[in-house]
Amino acid sequence: MTESNINIKVQLDTEKVPQQISWSASGSTAEEPQKAKAMCLALWDASEKSAMRIDLWTKDMMVDEMADFYFQVFVTMADTFQRATKHTELTNDIKLFAKNFHKKFIEIEEAKK
């Protein structure tokens, strides 16, 4: 059996706000830890039938970057859901939501100008 370790390092400022996020994984082709401005980690607790989550973002994460990040997370979740369940109609619903979410974000931001 093969094993892999994923390490996440979060540097906090004096107020415990994430200042830098980096990650590395054993078996990765990257030689240095990779930097990230945001992360969402979800783990399923089968005995409690609930998701355990860690959502972090650095203070230099821009609002438009957060919208793009969430759009991509929604699409990725849809793809994962499709592979796991083969429920194409629900997968398409998630992707449509993602598209509408991003479109509405852009409209809201444009209205602010």
DSSP string, 51-112: EEEEEEE-TT--HHHHHHHHHHHHHHHHHHHHHHH--HHHHHHHHHHHHHHHHHHHHHHHHH
Residues 67, 53 share a domain = no
Domain range for residue 71? 62-113
Residues 34, 10 share a domain = yes
Report whether 71 contacts 94 (CB < 8 A): no
Residues 113, 66 share a domain = yes
Number of domains in the chain: 2
Q: In tens digits, what is the pLDDT along the chain, a chain of 113 residues?
A: 889 999 999 999 999 999 999 999 998 888 899 999 999 999 999 999 999 999 999 999 999 999 999 999 999 999 999 999 999 999 999 999 999 999 999 999 999 98
Residues 75, 28 share a domain = no
Which of 58, 83, 103 marks a domain boundary? 58
